[in-house]
Amino acid sequence: MQDLERITSFINSFYSDDGGTLGEIYENAKAAHVPVIRKETRELLKLLLLMKRPANILEIGTAVGYSALYMSKYASCHTHITTIEMDGERVKEAEKNIQNLGMSGMITVIQGDALKILPELTGTYDFIFMDAAKGQYINYLEEVMRLLAPGGILLSDNILQEGEILESHFLVTKRDRTIHDRMRAYLTALKNDSRLETAILSVGDGIALSVRTNM
């Protein structure tokens, strides 16, 4: 683990900070203990967006809008980003941040529980960023598959749960067992889904990178 931290810190030393207002949003979020995408993960996210150039992005888990704003920098000017957040205070903060950066026309924040919001969405998305409650990913999957366009990318963050996913069910504290079991079930479901090709990568807190290969 110590080696992994050194490797991550070495890799991150090559990446520059955002600077400007976006950089302030990131620093303020971290200072307020609001979870935000890790530096090494966002670099991969940037490259995926530059390669894919998605027209419609769906994010599950807005927090204060940092990752949505970050994505808006690397998407095309025709891209629309829809992002879901259930915490009312965070939604307000996200909308303020999005407005301050002049991105209200490109990013729509929907307030509510993703479990309820996802079935209400129509159309398809060619890029879906899953970054909400880790224990819920498995419950979002059916709706996410309904919304993911052929050839679309599904990026699921924090799938390694700071390494806890490696432990046996019985070694995980009782409190974390449900989330542990559900994340394992989620990874198994992704790998067994014949509509998807999925790579599990140890970038940041672990990501599952999936591509929809057919309907």
Ligand X SMILES: C[S@@+](CC[C@H](N)C(=O)[O-])C[C@H]1O[C@@H](n2cnc3c(N)ncnc32)[C@H](O)[C@@H]1O
- State the residues that interact with ligand X by CB under 6 A: 35-37, 61, 63, 66-67, 84-87, 90, 113-115, 131-133, 136
What backbone torsions phi and psi does residue 161 show, to the nearest 5 degrees?
Answer: 45, 55
- Least Cβ distance, residue 211 to ligand X (angstroms): 21
By the 8 A CB rule, do 67 and 42 touch? yes
What's the rounded Cα separation, in Å, for the pair 102 and 121? 25
Cα 28 to Cα 131, 184, 210: the distances in Å are 19, 32, 31
- Least Cβ distance, residue 7 to ligand X (angstroms): 22
By the 8 A CB rule, do 87 and 112 touch? no
- Least Cβ distance, residue 60 to ligand X (angstroms): 6
* Nearer residue to ligand X within complex by CB, 36 or 141: 36
What is the CB neighbour count within 10 angstroms for residue 211?
16
- Least Cβ distance, residue 193 to ligand X (angstroms): 21
* Nearer residue to ligand X within complex by CB, 113 or 167: 113
* Nearer residue to ligand X within complex by CB, 103 or 197: 103
* Nearer residue to ligand X within complex by CB, 85 or 126: 85
